[in-house]
Amino acid sequence: SQQGEEDPQALSIQEGENATMNCSYKTSINNLQWYRQNSGRGLVHLILIRSNEREKHSGRLRVTLDTSKKSSSLLITASRAADTASYFCATDGGGGNKLTFGTGTQLKVEL
Amino acid sequence: GAGVSQSPSNKVTEKGKDVELRCDPISGHTALYWYRQRLGQGLEFLIYFQGNSAPDKSGLPSDRFSAERTGESVSTLTIQRTQQEDSAVYLCASSLVGWDEQFFGPGTRLTVL
């Protein structure tokens, strides 16, 4: 089964609004990562947050991590049409193992 | 520097034929991964290479699937006797170490008629 599960599966917002996506996982982790995918091809790494961190920022992105709840959220502020993509979380399983990806949230930002 | 490259970008084949997909990772990356992504779905892990260790093949869906990697360089994913359900985008990624940021190639879109 998938280690990470994103919620919601799909999200549609207006340009300028904020978008929040959530990820839940099952086992302990060393780090959690968020990726973006455009047009069903290669993924692009957005941000990595380690298990001893609670919040991390990168530009318009804010990621939080709650290890007690085994959950993370990705916030995109002041969204743009170009943010339209699928967003995936990925976890490492805590033992230096391979990353396991969730099923993704499809974000659509409308003008 | 160059990113992860994959070839071919698109492959159309007939059911029952064998196909070979290639991945060139970023130089110096010890870890290499293959994923499969069916239309509208998430990434499905197939196989993971880490340095000279035995690969993690736990995600390969059947014995028709196999992959090789020579040292820390090129990897080849082979699908024998292709079936229509093998149609998907096959993504390759590499990372410096096994749990680090992954860099993805553009993928190979496989269509089995």
Q: Give me the pLDDT at residue A32, please.
A: 92
Q: Give me the pLDDT at residue A2, please.
A: 36
d(CA B91, CA B60): 14
Identify the three-state secondary structure at position A82. helix
A–B: how many Cβ contacts below 8 A? 59
Percent of chain B with pLDDT over 90: 71
CA distance B17 to chain A (A): 24
A6: closest chain B residue by CA: B42
Residue A1: which pLDDT band, with cuts at 50, 70 and 90? Answer: very low
B98: closest chain A residue by CA: A98
CB atoms within 10 A of CB B40: 9
Q: What is the pLDDT of residues A26-81, one digit of tens each?
A: 888 888 999 999 876 789 999 999 999 999 999 999 999 999 999 999 999 999 99
Q: What is the pLDDT of residues B30-61, one digit of tens each?
A: 999 999 999 878 888 899 998 888 898 989 99
Q: Give me the pLDDT at residue A4, please.
A: 66
Identify the three-state secondary structure at position A70. coil
d(CA B91, CA B75): 12
Indicate if the pLDDT at residue A3 is higher than 60.
Answer: no
Residue B88: which pLDDT band, with cuts at 50, 70 and 90? Answer: very high
B26 phi/psi in degrees, rounded to 5: -70, 135
Q: Give me the pLDDT at residue A97, please.
A: 62
Neighbouring C-alpha atoms within 13 Å toward the C-beta of A88: 25
Q: Which of A41, A45, A97 sits opposite B102 (nearest CB)?
A: A45
Q: What mean pLDDT comes out for the span B1-23? A: 94
* Single-letter code of the amino acid located at B95: S
d(CA B56, CA A98): 9
B41: closest chain A residue by CA: A103
Tokens at A74, concatenated: 């990705």
d(CA A2, CA B56): 17
